[in-house]
Each structure stands twice: as structure tokens, then as C-alpha cells.
């Protein structure tokens, strides 16, 4: 691999300042690059599969409109908020006594 002389000298100086052999730094950089590229390809494959599944579901008529999805999500949020509020009230409520005992 050829590098510009100035870049090569800067690289060797930085590796030395870090207390690492230049070959080890280069090895680590290459390994990181390969891992990032593999992760990017894996993610692209994941997205491609999700799109293919979604298209098949759409073609089969198994889909909902955005409005239906938003309404369903809003209803789920409301149920979760109600359960959370009820759990908080139950936790704060005294097991004996009257409401004035809370003051």
C-alpha cells in the first residue's frame, strides 16, 4: 500500500505517540473498516427483507392505513397511561386509615 510521504510520516509519528507499532494501528483500522462495512451490509439486508415482507403483506391485503395505525397507537398509549396511573394510586394509597392520614 502506498502512502504520500507526509501522510506516512504523520501516521508513524501518531502511532509512536500512542505507544503502538504502526502495523498494529493499521491492522486495527482495517479490522474496524471491515466490521463497519459488514454491519452496513447486514443492515441493508435487514431493511431489504423488511421491505420485501411489507410488500408481500400489502399485496395480500394485510395492511392498515396510517390513520388506523395512529388510532391503535393512541388507544394503546391511553390504556398504558391509565394502568400506570392506577398503579401509582395503589402504591400511594395507605393500607389502613383515612384519607386525612395522608396529610
What's the whole-model pTM score? 0.56
61 dihedral zone (left: phi>0; alpha: psi -120 to 50; beta):
left
The angle at the Cα of 24, spanning 18 to 27, to the nearest 5 degrees, equals 130
The pLDDT value recorded for residue 99 is 57
Distances, alpha carbon 43 to alpha carbons 47, 49, 51, 87, in Å? 6, 10, 12, 39
Please write the tens of the pLDDT for every residue from 56-94: 999 999 989 999 999 999 999 999 999 999 999 988 887
DSSP label at 102? G
Amino acid at each position: 500500500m502506498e502512502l504520500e510521504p507526509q501522510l506516512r510520516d504523520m501516521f508513524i509519528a501518531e502511532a509512536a505517540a500512542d505507544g503502538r507499532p504502526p502495523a498494529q494501528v493499521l491492522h486495527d483500522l482495517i479490522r474496524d473498516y471491515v466490521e463497519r462495512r459488514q454491519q452496513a451490509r447486514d443492515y441493508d439486508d435487514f431493511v431489504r427483507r423488511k421491505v420485501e415482507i411489507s410488500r408481500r403483506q400489502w399485496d395480500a391485503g394485510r395492511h392498515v392505513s396510517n390513520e388506523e395505525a395512529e388510532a391503535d397507537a393512541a388507544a394503546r398509549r391511553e390504556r398504558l397511561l391509565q394502568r400506570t396511573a392506577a398503579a401509582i394510586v395503589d402504591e400511594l394509597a395507605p393500607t389502613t386509615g383515612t384519607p386525612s392520614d395522608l396529610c
